[in-house]
Amino acid sequence: MFNWYGKGLRFGDLRIPTPIVQGGMGIGVSGRKLAIAVAESGGIGVISAVGLGYMGIPCEIEEKKDESSNISILRQEIRKAKLATKGVLGVNIMVAISEFAETARAAVEEGIDIIFAGAGLPLNLPAALIEGSKTKLVPIVSSARTAKLIAKRWMSHYQYVPDGFVVEGPMAGGHLGFSKEQIDDPSYRLENLIPQVLEEVKRIEEDAKKEIPIIAAGGVYTGEDIYEMLNLGASGVQMATRFVVTEECDADLAFKQAYIDCKKEDIGIIESPVGLPGRAIINKFLLDAKKGLKSPINCSRHCIKTCQEEKSPYCISSALINAVHGKVENGFAFIGANGYRVDRILTVAQLFEELAEEFRVRYEQKALK
């Protein structure tokens, strides 16, 4: 196991030796295979719950008649992952999906260690808990105000205190919890958000008599970045983009190659059909969509509650599924702001080794001063 100088993560009774959470990436990018590899390396491996039923994954378990294929496949993937590793596993669930409550309950019933919930306010997430469950609940927030709002709601309605918060800044890939103006505003940078959220969480901790770790996310790329986030007071970091270009990532090789080929100027902000800005690799598909050259389709999925189906030039789930399956020209890839720095495919173990070495160098440099 890699040396992080005792800087492991703790969520209550959960102990994680590495301060790294692998970010959830929907429509099959962060599936069971990647989550297992990350958990085996000492981090938190995360399966995205978004769109699993659309990926062509065969369902090998008995399906409940009142559940969708998305939920059945999620149950299956959690079970298989738990059989393959003794490490810590999480599920990332977008609040905006139509079956948010049902998906969260299924993950709890399957004994997932942690639920990470973002892309909306998970105001009723504790309702998913069942008697005897040990699942930790961790909202993804973009401000101290949001953290305060969620904590107040959970405590007043469910007598439950968040087990942690992921604070995601505007350099993240995928859907962003910021306006287009805020994305480029220096005051919203992650290094400014972390102290603000820490101050608010300190008050929540004092009221609840509970330790609440903060996870920094969005633009964290190197081991040096990890050190700096921990030095700001975060307990750990969430990284997604770095894990796409690993051998164990569940996406097609062509999807990974799009990251390797990507230049800084290829990364831009799009207006997603779900009503949020998002950071992606700008390709011909997205340029054509911006020109209005793609025709709207009749949506049969209704997978995202906020999706503007009648106005959108494309179906976002279909576009992302195409890209993940290697048909990048018929879709697109979300990416973090630092994704252009990716230059090769590593194993997850090699990535952890590289990050740990960068962390060590920075740690020892600071120790000598």
% of the chain beyond a pLDDT of 90: 73
Q: What is the pLDDT of residues 90-118, one digit of tens each?
A: 999 999 888 999 999 999 999 999 999 99
pLDDT(298) > 60? no
Q: What is the pLDDT of residue 9?
A: 92
Q: What is the pLDDT of residues 319-368, one digit of tens each?
A: 888 999 999 999 999 999 999 999 999 999 999 999 999 999 999 988 77
Domain boundaries, the chain: 9-251+342-368, 253-339
The answer to whether residues 24 and 40 touch, using CB atoms and an 8 Å cutoff, is: no
Higher pLDDT, 155 or 8: 155
pLDDT(167) > 90? yes
Tokens of 240: 């997604």
Residue carrying structure tokens 């160098």: 361
The pTM assigned to this predicted structure is 0.93
pLDDT(305) > 60? no
Tokens of 342: 């990716």
What is the torsional sign of CA 263, 264, 266, 271?
A: positive
The answer to whether residues 337 and 279 touch, using CB atoms and an 8 Å cutoff, is: yes
| Coarse DSSP helix, strand, coil percentages of the chain, rounded to the nearest 5 percent | 40, 15, 45
Q: What is the pLDDT of residue 206?
A: 94
Q: What is 9-251+342-368's CATH number, 3.20.20.70, 2.60.260.20, 3.40.50.300, 3.40.50.720?
A: 3.20.20.70
67-76 LR contacts (CB < 8 Å, sep 24+): 67/102, 67/106, 68/99, 68/102, 70/99, 70/103, 70/303, 71/99, 71/102, 71/103, 71/106, 74/47, 74/49, 74/103, 74/106, 74/107, 74/110, 75/106, 75/109, 75/110
pLDDT(308) > 70? no
Residue carrying structure tokens 């101050």: 199
Q: What is the pLDDT of residue 28?
A: 82
% of the chain beyond a pLDDT of 70: 94
pLDDT band, residue 295 (cuts 50/70/90) = low
**Phi first, then psi: what are they for 296, rounded to 5°?**
-60, 150
Q: What is the pLDDT of residues 38-72, one digit of tens each?
A: 999 999 999 999 878 777 787 778 778 788 888 99
Q: What is the pLDDT of residues 206-239, one digit of tens each?
A: 999 999 999 999 999 999 999 999 999 999 999 9
pLDDT band, residue 315 (cuts 50/70/90) = confident
pLDDT band, residue 306 (cuts 50/70/90) = low
Mean pLDDT value of segment 292-309:
60
Lowest mean pLDDT among 136-150, 214-228, 234-248, 285-299: 285-299
Q: What is the mean pLDDT of the chain?
A: 91
pLDDT band, residue 271 (cuts 50/70/90) = confident
Mean pLDDT value of segment 121-131:
96
Higher pLDDT, 359 or 275: 359
Lowest mean pLDDT among 2-16, 153-167, 185-199: 2-16
Mean pLDDT value of segment 252-262:
97
